[in-house]
Each structure stands twice: as C-alpha cells, then as structure tokens.
Chain A
C-alpha cells in the first residue's frame, strides 16, 4: 500500500476512482501467465504471483502519465506500465512499484489512409484497429500474441512477430512517430513527430530525432525505459476483399470465405528441403502467411479443442510442414499467385495436402486474417511458452531448430513437458523472406510443479546451448543476470544498454526487471 499522503497526490492526478491500492486489486495484478517459472528461475517460490504492486493507477492522458512518473521520481517509487497485460513482462520486479494500467487510454487518434498509418493509444487491441482500417481496405500487423493484444505494446515494447509477417513485417519495423514519456517524466516525440514545424506521425526515423534503437531495439524494453502513450504504425493493404462475416455460433463460426484466398499445407522432406522451399516461396513475394511448424502444431492450428486435435492424424505425421496462405484482391492477382505456387510446387516436388488429405474449416481463414492462430498453442495443456526465439537467416533459424530437438526430447522423456517429438517450432519469414523468425513453443502444465521446474530448466539449458553452439541470441534475454551472462559474448552490449538506462533513467524509476538496471558506478 502507498502512504496516505502519496496516495492522495496520485488521486489528485487521476481521481479517486482511478487508483486502487487495496489488497484484492493489487494481488490480482501480481498474477500473470508464466510468472511461476520466472519465479523458479529467480530462486523464488514457483507460484504465479510476482511482487505485489503498491497500487494500480489508471491514467487517461499523456499528461496524467507524465505527472504520475514525476511523482514516482519525487517519492522514489518505481513504475511499470501495462496495457492488455499478457505475460510476465508486465509484472513488477520489486515491492516498491506501482502499475500504470493504460486501459483508459483507448483511442484511435488518427487513420491516415493516404500515408498509410494509424495513430493509437495503448489500450487499443489489434482487432479493434484492424476492423477500423479494414473500412479503408487496409490492414495492421498483429503479433503472435493475437488480436486481443495491445498493438502499441507490441510495436513499442515487445518482440512482435506474427503469422502475417511475410506481408506485414515485424512490430519493430512498423513503428513510426512515437510519443514517449521518459522515466524522468519528460516527453520525447520521435521521428517526424519531433519536428518543430509541421510535425506529424508519418515517419519514425526522420526528419526529426530517430532513437528507435534505444526506444525499443529488437525485443523492446518491456516498460523498463518509460511509457509509450501514442504511436503511429504502418498500415498495409488488406490482402483480399474486406467482407468479413462469421455466422453461426461459437466456436465453430461459419466464415464466408473472401473471393480469393487459398491455403497450402506442404510437407518438406527434411530441413534442407524446407529451407529451400521457404526461400523460394518468399522470393516470389506471394504469401500472406508462410509459416513452418511441427506437425503437432499444424494439428493445433486447425483445431478448436484437444479432442478435435487428436482426430487430425492425417496431418499429424508430416515431416517438415509448411503452411502457406495466399490471398488476393483481384482474380488476376489470385491466378498469378496460384500459378506461381504451382510452379514452385512442381519445381520442389511438393504436394498440397489441403484439398486432398485435409480440408480446414472456413474458420481457419477467418483466424488467418484476424491473426488468431497463435492462441491455439494453449489447446493441449492450457499452458505454453516459447523456450527460445531468434531472428536471423533461414539457415540459422533451422539449424537452431534442428539442434534443439534432442535437447527438448530429453525433457519430454522426463515427462515435464508435453510430447511434440521435440519438433515443436514456429518459424515465419518477415517481409517476404528478407529474414526469418523462429521460436520453440513448448507445452507445459502451469499447475504441475515438476512441469514448471522442467520448462524453466529446459529454457535455461536451451539458452546455454545457443551460446555454446553459436545459434544466435534468444529473445528472452531479460534482466540483469542474463544480460551480464550474454553481454561479454556479444561485444559487451550490456554495458551500452546500461549506459542507455542510466542516461534515460538516472533515478532507476522505470522497473528494470525485464530490461536492465543501470547499476550506477559499474558503467
């Protein structure tokens, strides 16, 4: 709880009803997905509750956020900002922290159809933006977390790959003008928004100050470096006609397929064949979705329950599956894309299983377009987390996946993670194959202590393997301990990261738990 006089000062900023330091509310915010194994890795009790925040504050404007941050500096209280709030990254790392829940900042500020961007506040979900920009024939990038997640959080503060990444890229690449409340309480406006004259949101990197690398780098600072209150994001052409109608009843809605959309499920013989296929398909720039995943994961994305997952054996025995979705706005475009796909399949000796061995429900296409496929990861055990993740060439991503299989199998044999034959992986290209993303979704049971311990140890060993075998940097290198471990192997980046933290947050007020602390004096 906050001291009475401090609570009153916060209340003056947001109003009595928008701050709560009660036991029930603060405990509720202490809970999150995967916190149990984060606790285990930190030698704490492996329960799903983090440190309890001192209070939860609901600001509604940038000015209120600024005042809250200034007050935190005044009283030496750390803060952690969150929006839709999925995952342990939203959790306070100390008992001296307030949470800024940005739920009341929920406006779509501007849709610029001509310059292809949208400006939003933190609590606007991907689906909310999509349905509004669809009215102009446009689309937004949504991360694997799904359409219910905050688009601003993904674009400013988190990793951000998604199923539609071949066409819509990566959150880090889609950030334009940004309004940023620094840990000191100052407001910094990046890109064209920072121009003194005729400022606007259209660019993140200039004219005007470009600090995108510092602001978010590749994986984001997870509220370790201030609060992002408004951001402009790139828009993309919607891949097909925008008539999105799902009739019937939950969960098996009957989706009225757009005129020009088609899925391909291809089985590659081995990793080499898979790499060639990925590169070849992406070289032609025709895919809306181009994802490689294990056969178990393929079964999952076509299923709406565990029981229905198990009846998809026809696609459960594939070697190296590849899921492709092409979509078009005209028949001519569609014919062209299908023709190219046919030529590639002939060239690489691939057969489309869809239409012969398996036919997905129409809802699959609805979920492709709404970026809802990632949520299927929860079907089998109710819990999953990606044990590693990287962004690199197709060759390195696949090499990592290959080398990870025996390690994962070791933990499967222990019975602490679910059996996907060790092959559970998800890989997508970004921007038509310019580079790739790979992660290893791992199914565990959050209610089973041995399973929690198991996935935590697997993640640790997996990270070590990446280091020893030069397999690239996992995306969950977060917090002081891991940065200190990885930094010396990677040009001492951690020293630079600390320097940034110290410069932007001299009082250490923005919770560094999933970023890095400045460790004053060490830098």
Chain B
C-alpha cells in the first residue's frame, strides 16, 4: 500500500466491528460467528482489524509512541485477512494492508519485529531458512525413488517448512508428480526461503532482496511453471512478488496441478479411501491468494465529496482464492466423504500459525488451532485435511494439545492413498474410522 493511500485510509474506520465477525450473511451459529483469532483471544478492541486501523491513525497523529505495548499488539495477529474480507463485503478499506504497512513502519523505526521474529530473519540471511537449519540439508527429504528431470520446465519449489519440518508433504508431492508422469525438477541447493515469513512481519527491505534473488535464479533456468505445496510460498510468489517485480512463469499450487492431472486422467484414483474428512482452507491458499489486478483508471469527482473509479477498481474480496480445486480432488476420491465446517473458503477461520505468531506467540497459535480443531470436530469428520505445511504443523499441535480424536493429513497424502501408493498409511487411516 502506498503511503498516500495509507494516510487517507486510516482515517476511515467507522468502528462498526464487522471485522470481528465473518460476513454477516454467512453466520450460521453463535459459536462460529467470529472470524478474527486475535480479538477472540485477547478481547480488547485494538486486537481487531478495525482496532489496528485506529492504532495506525493514533500513531501517525503522535498520540502513541513506538513501545513494546504497541509492538505486542500489532504482532499478535496472524494476518489471516478475515478482517479484510468482512470489511470489504461493503466497504473499501484494506485492514490487512494497513496492518502490514504498520508493521513495516515499526520495523523501520526499530520497534518491530518481535525478538523471536528478528531471530528468524537472521537465520534466513545466514542459512536461507527461518528454522536455522543447515542449508546443505535442505534436500535431505528426497527419497531415492523420486525421479527428477534436470531439463524439466516445471519447477517444484519445496519451501523451507516442507523441506525441514513437513517432509511428508514434499515426498508425497514428488511421488504424485512421478506417478502422473509430470517431468519436474527442484532447485536443490539454489532454493532459498521465499521471504513470506519476513514480509509478513514487516521487513520489506530484506524481502525485496530475497524475491530478487529467487526470481533471478528461476528466470535464469527457463522455467515455465513453478509448483508449490506450501500455501505461504505460493501466495508470496503469486500475490506479493508481482507487486515488486513482474515475471513470466506460471505459478500453481499442487492442488491446482493435481486437480488438472485427475481431470486429464494422468492420475487415476484407483483405491478406496473410506474416511470422513473436513477441509481447512489455508489463508494463503484461500482469501489471501487473490492477485492484485492492474488498474489504470481515473478517479472522477461525481459530486462534492463523492468520487468514483472509472472503470471500477477491482476489489480483492477473497472470492478468487483456490477453493474448488481441493474440494474437487477430495470429492473424486473413491469412498471418501467430505463434510464442511461452518467457516469455509474466504471466511474460513485461521489455523493460527501465520505472520510470525507461531514463533513469537506460540500460546496464541495453539489457542487458535484448538478453536479450529473444535470446529472440525463439530463438522462430524474424523480427518482434518489441508494443503499448507504451516497449517499442518499448527493444527497437528492443536490436535495433540486438545487430545482430539481427529487425525490430520495433507491433501497430497490422501491422494497418495487413493493412488495406491501409501497402502500402509491408508491402513492406519481406515483403521481409525473403523
């Protein structure tokens, strides 16, 4: 968000509190009416999207100083974007972008980010991943039976979390592509952090360096399509990179690719997977994965105080997230039954891990995960499925903490079962149901 727009927009919150809820016409129960983890946990208004717009204004007016109090409130937010969806149902404010800009300002003054977040920035600078793992171990996840093609035009960008923490996702993704006969390669030791965790906490300078490094490498290899199993990497490449630098290659999340492969029958779902699942929409694959559309129109004064955009300026409402592809995949799996939670798609409740919360405020991340797990339990499903390694980690932490009977799988693992490539895993899964 440009500074001029920011300065105008922070004066416009009407303090209606819609940002605390999911869109009003989507409320189905008292229990699952809210949409913002931060306000649900901390209760004071400044934790809401609207509250942070007021903070931004108060900060610009010099009413509040860059203190630890300010920093803690601004960073206790998963940047899930529910506030933006709820607000933009009718309004034109951008609460999430204002939060991001506010974080950027706090970083620039030295007030932000949180110390734990600063530590992972340093780790990325040093070893190219926020987990501070040795760079040379980035490819350790690759099993012997996976085939890579050095000449492939499709690149699988594995991401830090799948490389180091959620290796099962990376393995499943590679095996499925092999099964479908998709020729792909990975960057091996030339793959670095996408910059998402750094961008979300407001260090835009470091982020710019990272995106340029990544784009230089990918473009130098003549890649036509980059595939991501990590929703965070996908969102960052798809939505955030083009704001700084355009590129020609196509970006796809694995759920999009797998859906296409099933449609074209390159993947044949042969095995019965008789389980009842519910699907969690990751924020970075759903509402936040909507690209900014170029707009080169005019702001035309219509009458005093009222101007309109000609042509209409596209509004990011979360409606163009990736919602259908994962559901189509799940519905095509023989024997599998999909039950929806109350809050889905652009008004899905966050898993609680994003935007540096998992590292700086693990208790907030866990509480949020627990709330989402409860909603998944209430859906009647036995399995919780998603498509993001960050969601995977946090939701599994929630399942363990809550001692839930739910089992978590990434959608790629479920797909492996349906392809008959993971008979042992399927056996475990179905045993739980029975």
Contact = CB atoms under 8 A, between A and B. Distances in A.
Interface in B308-357: 308-309, 312-313, 315, 317-320, 323, 345-347
A345 interface: no
12 contacts: A23-B64, A27-B54, A29-B45, A128-B30, A131-B29, A131-B33, A146-B24, A148-B20, A379-B90, A380-B306, A382-B91, A383-B14
B14 A33 contact: yes
Interface string A111-142: 00000000000001101110110000000000
A378 B65 CA distance: 31
B339 to A, nearest CB: 16
A423 to B, nearest CB: 14
A447 B302 CA distance: 18
Contacts of B73: 24-25
Contact of B308 (A18, A23, A310): A310
Contacts of A104: 43
Most chain A beta-carbon neighbours within 10 Å: one of B13, B25, B88, B91: B25
Given A251-B88, A304-B90, A447 B25 contact: no
Contacts of B431: none
Contacts of B61: 47
Contacts of A253: 23, 25-26
B27 interface: yes
Interface stretch (A287-295, A367-375, A501-509): A367-375
Nearest to A311: B312
A147 interface: yes
Interface of B: 8, 11-18, 20-21, 23-30, 33, 43-46, 51, 54-55, 57-58, 61, 63-65, 67, 69-70, 73, 85, 88-92, 302-306, 308-309, 312-313, 315, 317-320, 323, 345-347
Contacts of A418: 303-306
A1 to B, nearest CB: 12
Most chain B beta-carbon neighbours within 10 Å: one of A29, A255, A366, A451: A29
Given A23-B65, A103-B43, A131-B28, A382 B15 contact: no
Contacts of A146: 16, 18, 24
Contacts of A29: 45
Contacts of B303: 418-419
Contact of B8 (A84, A131, A447): A447
A22 B69 contact: yes
B58 A27 contact: yes
Given A86-B15, A249-B318, 4 more contacts: A33-B14, A305-B315, A306-B306, A378-B14
B346 A86 contact: no
B69 to A, nearest CB: 5
Nearest to B321: A249
A248 B26 CA distance: 11
B317 A249 contact: yes
Contacts of B25: 246, 253, 255, 363, 366-367, 370, 372
A250 B89 contact: yes
Nearest to A249: B319
Nearest to B71: A24
Chain A interface residue number, banded: 35 or more
Contacts of B30: 108, 124, 128-129, 131-132
B45 A101 contact: yes
B306 A381 contact: yes
Given A128-B30, A376-B90, A33 B24 contact: no
A48 interface: yes
A58 interface: yes
A72 B20 CA distance: 30
A156 B314 CA distance: 41
A307 B21 contact: no
A249 B91 contact: no
Contact of B21 (A20, A103, A127): A127
A265 interface: no
Contacts of B44: 20, 25, 28, 56, 58, 101
A58 B317 CA distance: 32
A491 B304 CA distance: 42
Contacts of B346: 249-250
Contacts of A378: 14, 90-91
A240 interface: no
Contacts of B13: 31, 33
B27 A86 contact: no
Contacts of B46: 24-25, 28
B305 A448 contact: yes
Contact of A375 (B16, B317, B319): B16
A28 B309 contact: no
B418 to A, nearest CB: 27
B69 A307 contact: no
A85 B54 CA distance: 14
A250 B14 contact: no
Given A128-B27, A250-B318, A366-B25, A306 B8 contact: no
Interface stretch (A207-215, A221-229, A438-446): A438-446
A81 interface: no
B15 A33 contact: yes
A419 to B, nearest CB: 4
A302 interface: no
B21 A31 contact: no
A104 B248 CA distance: 50
A28 B54 contact: yes
B10 to A, nearest CB: 10
A124 B33 CA distance: 10
Contact of B18 (A18, A148, A383): A148
Most chain A beta-carbon neighbours within 10 Å: one of B15, B61, B64, B89: B15
A419 B301 CA distance: 12
Nearest to B52: A28
Contacts of A444: 305
B23 to A, nearest CB: 5
A355 B335 CA distance: 46
A124 B29 CA distance: 12
B14 A306 contact: no
A110 B78 CA distance: 34
Contacts of A415: 304-305
Nearest to B319: A249
A313 B390 CA distance: 49
A49 interface: yes
Contacts of A307: 308-309, 312-313
Contact of B69 (A23, A31, A85): A23
Nearest to A444: B305
B24 A370 contact: yes
Given A127-B33, A128-B27, A381-B306, A86 B12 contact: no
